[in-house]
Copies of this chain bind each other. A is one copy, B any other.
Amino acid sequence: MKHTYEYPRAALTVDCVVFGFDSGAAGLQVLLIRRGLVPFKDHWALPGGFVRVEETLDDAARRELEEETGLKDLFLEQLYTFGTVNRDPRERVVSVAYYALTKPADHTTAASTDAAEARWFPVTDIPPLAFDHAEIFAAALTRLRGKLTYQPVGFELLPPKFTLTQLQRLYESVLGTDIDKRNFRKKVLSYDLLIPLKEQHREGAHRPAQLFRFDPVKYERLKKKGFLFEL
C-alpha cells in the first residue's frame, strides 16, 4: 500500500477472447476459464488480469494468457477497450480486450496455475459469463467475422496441413453460412495462396483429400493488403 496519486485512478486489465477451430463437429470454439476468486467465483470468464505498470498492453495480454491457459505464441490483436463505470463491482476497472486465434489441438489447454480450470466451448453454446464478458465475446466474434472476409486468417486456426474442405468448414463455421463447394475452391485457389502437397489426407471409407499448406510469403502479403472474401 504505497502507491499514491493526486487523483483516483482506474485499474487497468486485459481480457482475451481466444478462438480455436476444431475441424470435427465442434467447429469454432472459445476458451474460458472458471474463476477461482470473488467476485464471480466459479463463474466462467475470459482469461485476463491486471496490466503491470512496466509492461505494454500486448505483453500483459500474452502474459495473462500463458499464466491462465498455458497458451503462448498465438495470433493476438487488440479488439476494443471497455470502460463503463460499473463493469466491476469492486471498483473502476477499464479493460483492454484482445482476441486471439489458435489451434485447440496445438497446445495442451489443461493445467493452469492461476485459474481453477480452462475449457473450450463451442461459440454457439457458451455459459453465462462474469462481468461484461458476454459483451466482449460478442464484439470479438463480430470482429473475427469481419476479419475473415477481408484478410486471410485461416492460417492461425488450422493445422499446417489441411484440406480444402477443412478450410471451407472454417469459413462456414465462423461466418455461420453455407458455402458452395466449387465456388469456394475456385476462389481460394485463385488467390494463389495455397500450395498443394504430395500428401493426402485419408480418413474413413471414402476418397482421400488433397492436403495443402499456406504459402507464408503470399499469406503475409495478403494479410497486409487485404483481399475481400465474399461468398
Interface residues of A, Cβ cutoff 8 Å to B:
1-12, 50-58, 78, 80-81, 83-85, 92, 94, 96
Contact = CB atoms under 8 A, between A and B. Distances in A.
A3 B4 contact: yes
Contacts of A51: 10, 83, 94
29 contacts: A1-B4, A1-B5, A2-B4, A3-B5, A3-B9, A4-B5, A5-B5, A5-B11, A7-B53, A8-B53, A9-B9, A9-B10, A9-B11, A9-B12, A10-B51, A10-B53, A12-B12, A51-B83, A51-B94, A53-B92, A54-B85, A56-B84, A57-B81, A57-B94, A78-B81, A81-B81, A81-B96, A83-B96, A94-B96
Contact of A56 (B54, B56, B78, B83): B83
A117 to B, nearest CB: 26
Nearest to A60: B83
A56 B80 CA distance: 14
Nearest to A7: B3
A53 B4 CA distance: 15
A170 to B, nearest CB: 22
Contacts of A52: 7
- CB-CB nearest 6 A-B residue pairs: A57-B83, A8-B53, A9-B9, A4-B4, A3-B8, A81-B81
A197 B2 CA distance: 66
Given A10-B51, A54-B85, A56-B84, 11 more contacts: A1-B5, A3-B4, A3-B5, A3-B6, A5-B9, A8-B53, A9-B10, A51-B94, A54-B92, A56-B83, A57-B81
Contacts of A81: 57, 78, 81, 96
A56 to B, nearest CB: 5
B94 A12 contact: yes
A90 to B, nearest CB: 12
A5 B4 CA distance: 6
Contacts of A5: 1, 3-5, 9, 11
Contacts of A3: 4-9
A78 B83 CA distance: 11
Given A2-B4, A4-B2, A9 B53 contact: yes
